[in-house]
Amino acid sequence: MRVLITGAAGMIGRKLTERIARDGGLGGRQVAELHLHDIVPPHAPDIPGATVSAMTGDLADENAADWLIAPRPDVIFHLAGVVSGEAEADFEKGYRVNLDGTRALFEAIRQAGEGYCPRVVFTSSIAVFGAPFPEIIPDEFHPTPLTSYGTQKLVGEALLADYSRRGFFDGVGIRLPTICVRPGKPNKAASSFFSGIIREPLAGLEAVLPVPRSVLHTHASPRSAVGFLVHAASLDGDSIGPRRNLTMPGVAVTVGEQIEALERVAGNNVVRLIREEPDETVWSIVRNWPTRFSAERARALGFVAEEKFDQIIRAHIEDEMA
């Protein structure tokens, strides 16, 4: 089978590439071609018996999408996008990359014609939701994004569902919860501390906690995120039905429970590296984020995340620190 990954140089893209390389395939089918695309050069691993290509460019450029789907990939993972903070800071860039880029890809597939109908897996986000929320957000809750990023993801979801209904491709949109523990360094995202308070102490570094321990949030590990993508690639489209966008499961915990899990996994000496330093600005943002999801449809369709935050920490230790 032929596979295309857009945004292949990003954190999830890299891990998905590694997973496909390790498995040598996807959903039990061998990969013959793996095409990797991003705005910066993605790393192309060796896969015995498969052709792996790495391409660089802007998906929203004219003809870029036509060129990308020229090999007629059977599965397209559309991960490319400008992140939340950048889409908010640069309105035009966010719409160009996240909306126009996505639409260009979808249009290129539609216009390919000749019965071409790939599986398209689109990474959406819980940023499609905006406060106020019920205690548990049901699958039928309306998306009312409070960021341009969330708006662009919502538009992508709507197009995905319509293009799938029309039979132009067979799409699955997966709304990722916050990915934790993110490897790498702290960044300026308001959500950075959710990973930082685990990752930094495990590495022997101090971490700042800017919000109260009562803050509740839903997390899934990078390993689970890749699992969602791989599962979505081989789901039966008919079993999904016309509602093609699914809120993924995750572990809903308070920050206090995150820290308790860290203590269980790594001990009190590690936890002592967390310094509480309230930051009203960060809290005012985080306060409006969704807390807990039912994710019933995704679970029924076989999407699996961690059950406990301890497992998320252990996945980080195994995958990043081994």
User: Among all residues, which ones are annotated catalytic?
Assistant: 149
- Decide whether 300 or 321 has the Cβ nearer to a second copy: 300
- Decide whether 17 or 245 has the Cβ nearer to a second copy: 245
Q: Which residues pair with 220 in a beta bridge?
A: 179
**Cα 70-240-37 angle, rounded to 5 deg:** 25
Q: What are phi and psi of 238, to 5 degrees?
A: -65, -35
Spatial distance between the Cα atoms of 223 and 246, rounded to a whole number of angstroms: 18
Spatial distance between the Cα atoms of 245 and 228, rounded to a whole number of angstroms: 13
Nearest approach, Cβ of 140 to a second copy (angstroms)? 5
Contacts 24+ apart (CB under 8 A), 181-185: 181/221, 181/222, 181/312, 181/313, 181/315, 181/316, 181/320, 182/11, 182/222, 183/11, 183/222, 183/316, 183/319, 183/320, 184/11
Q: What are phi and psi of 87, to 5 degrees?
A: -65, -30
Sheet holding 75-78, edge to edge: 51-56, 33-38, 2-6, 75-78, 119-125, 170-176, 245-247
The alpha carbon torsion through 99, 82, 293, 212 (nearest 10 deg) reads -140
- Decide whether 139 or 279 has the Cβ nearer to a second copy: 139
Q: Please give the residue ranges that form the binding site for a second copy (CB under 8 A).
A: 91, 130, 134, 139-146, 148, 151, 154-155, 158-159, 161-162, 165-166, 242-243
Q: Provide the token pair at 232.
A: 């979505």
- Decide whether 136 or 321 has the Cβ nearer to a second copy: 136
- Decide whether 109 or 202 has the Cβ nearer to a second copy: 109
- Decide whether 134 or 302 has the Cβ nearer to a second copy: 134
Q: Which residues pair with 33 in a beta bridge?
A: 2, 51
Nearest approach, Cβ of 33 to a second copy (angstroms)? 30
Spatial distance between the Cα atoms of 317 and 322, rounded to a whole number of angstroms: 6
